[in-house]
Structures are given as C-alpha cells and as structure tokens.
Homo-oligomer: A and B are copies of this chain.
Amino acid sequence: MAKRVRTTRTGISDVAARAGVSLATVSRVMNGNQTVDAQIAERVRIAASELKYQPNPTGRNLARGKTDTIGVVVPDLGNPTFQGVLRGVSRAAAQDGYRVLIADSSEVSSEEAILAGEARRRCDGVVLCAPRMGAAELEELAPSLHPLVLVNRATNATGSPSVIVDYGRGIQDLAAHLVGLGHTRLAYVAGPASSSSHRLRLAGLDAFKASHSGIEVQVFSNGSTFEDGHSSAGDVLASGATGIMAFNDLTAMGLLSALNERGIRVPEDLSVTGFDDIPFARYTTPPLTTATVPIQDVGEQAWAQMKELLNRAPNAAAEAGEPASTTFTPTLTVRGSTAPPPGKG
C-alpha cells in the first residue's frame, strides 16, 4: 500500500515542522500567548502564513470544550418577528466572534425540546424562542439547556434570563389610543390560545377594562396569520365594535384586506391596529397604527445576556445571583389606520 497519500489539510504539525519548533509553540503563537520568544514567534507566523495554515475548529473545539457558537431555536423562520430576533442575535454575536446555528422547528412544537437539546450539545448556549411550549415543559427543559436565554418567555427555573416584550402594556397603549379617539366599543382579534404573548395581551386588556369602566372590549378567538385576520372580518363586523385590535400586524393586514373587499373603509368606518411593527406595517393601505416592538434590539439583548452567562465561571451561577432579565416596552406608533369612530370625527 502506498505511503498514506496526504489527504488531510495542512495542520499544526506542518507548521511546527517548517518553523522547526514544537506543536505546543505553534499553538501558543496562534493563540497570542506571550510567553514565546519574539524571534521564534515571528518564525512561526511566517511558516503559518506561507502554508496558509488555519487552525481546524473542530480540534480546537474539542480541546477547549467550547465551540464559539450559540444555537437559536425559532418556531418559524418565515415569521418576521423571529427573523428580527435571529438577525439581532446573529449580528451582535458576530461582533464578539460567535456564530449562530439555527434550528427551525417548523411550528412543530413537539420537536422544540429535541431541537433545543441538539443545538445545546453542539453549541455553547441556546437562545430559545418557543412561544407555544407549555410552562411545565419549559421549566423541565431549561436546566438542561443552560446557558439559556429565553425570548418572550419567563421561567422559574433558576439561572435563565429572559428578554421579554411587555405585550400587556403595548395593548393597553393601543386601547388607550383608540379610546382617546372616541371609541367605546373595542374588540381584540386574538392570537393562538397557546401563545404566551397572546395571554399577556389578554391580561393587559383585563387591566385596561378594570380602569376604564365605560369601555366594552370583546375578544374573538383567532390565530396569528394573514388568513386568520382575513377570516375574522365577519365576526368583527357583527360585533359592532369600532376599534379593532388585531393580534399582530399580519392579522391586522388580513383584516384590512377583508374589510377592503367588503367596502368597509379604514379608518373612516373602522379603526384597526396591529402589533409588532414589522417592516411592512408602514406600507399597508392605510399604514398601520401599531405597537412598535424593537425586535432586533430584543435579539441583540438576548446575545448580551448570553454573553454574560458565558463569561461567568461555570459554577458562579449561584454566587452571582439571578441574571438580570430585560423588558422592552412597545411604543405606540400612530399611522393611518386609526381615527375617531363614525359620527365622532
């Protein structure tokens, strides 16, 4: 048999041989370890660049016990919200030399835990977006995922910070805006019952009702897609409400579209609000009044928390106390889809 034809890329030992030093020294130089004589270091650097040597990350990963990679698990890469989170995390992490592995559960909620575990094993930590996962399951899963940062979820499990959006506050601002315009009959076209951010909106509306006795707030169950919004038009019109808060921008757009088909004018006949302020919300007709969520900042903040966790000594969790969670409060963005109700202009 031939002499084992060189199949593998140029490795650290090639550099060592060429520079006439040991592997250890090459490693030291490549890692900026200062305990190497300047002359030798230079020789190594030259050898490395002549050979175009680039350390093999896998070998490194194994030796160092880390991968400089974090996993981001999302329910749907097609959803603007998660796209924003992903983008924010990815860019922020890149600044610190980390990469992102994505895991798209394709809305198959039963896969989420598995995907997340998988991702965790391959990465140094995971950012989890799992709006539909049950609280119990999340709580059980969290410890095994540590370092873990939750997006729009909280858990009692210790040591896992969250970055969350105050949906309850946002929807109250929206409701207040409508009431301020003169609306007294409001309706909320709800999101999926299993969605935790939907439940936060509901709680916000309860709080709102408690402090605004004259105001009616109906709730229609529904979903989170354009089509869901579209198909809710019938219920909405039958309700007699004049101020409609859709679960999010997408459903608001669906509703807008259905209303348009039926000849209902927005905002003259009906006011409609969205939620999130996705990039296209400003381009609808009329432009959508919505609660703006700085979603990319959410992603960036998620990375900031992750970084914090990563920099902690592995066993420092307890001594350092609970990691700080962050809350973003949506800001009201008034555009053309809201106006005083008919007759109150």
Contact = CB atoms under 8 A, between A and B. Distances in A.
Range of interface residues on A (Cβ < 8 Å): 35 or more
A304 to B, nearest CB: 18
Contacts of A56: 121
Nearest to A286: B285
A307 interface: no
Contact of A58 (B61, B86, B226): B61
Interface string A76-87: 011000010011
A55 B15 CA distance: 32
Copies in the complex: 2
B99 A57 contact: no
Given A62-B62, A103-B99, A83 B91 contact: no
A57 B90 contact: no
Nearest to A111: B94
Interface in A85-116: 86-87, 90-91, 94, 99-104, 106
A280 interface: yes
Contacts of A122: 57-58, 69, 99
B69 A101 contact: yes
Contact of A87 (B59, B77, B121): B77
Nearest to A55: B121
A54 interface: yes
Contact of A77 (B57, B90, B104, B253): B90
A54 B67 CA distance: 17
Given A121-B57, A253-B283, A94 B104 contact: yes
A56 B67 CA distance: 12
Given A87-B77, A103-B99, A58 B69 contact: no
A13 interface: no
A314 to B, nearest CB: 8
A314 B61 CA distance: 24
A284 interface: yes
Given A58-B61, A77-B91, A91-B106, 14 more contacts: A57-B122, A61-B61, A69-B101, A90-B102, A94-B104, A94-B106, A99-B102, A99-B119, A99-B122, A100-B101, A101-B102, A280-B283, A283-B284, A284-B285
11 contacts: A61-B61, A61-B62, A77-B83, A77-B90, A78-B87, A83-B83, A99-B122, A101-B102, A226-B283, A257-B283, A283-B284
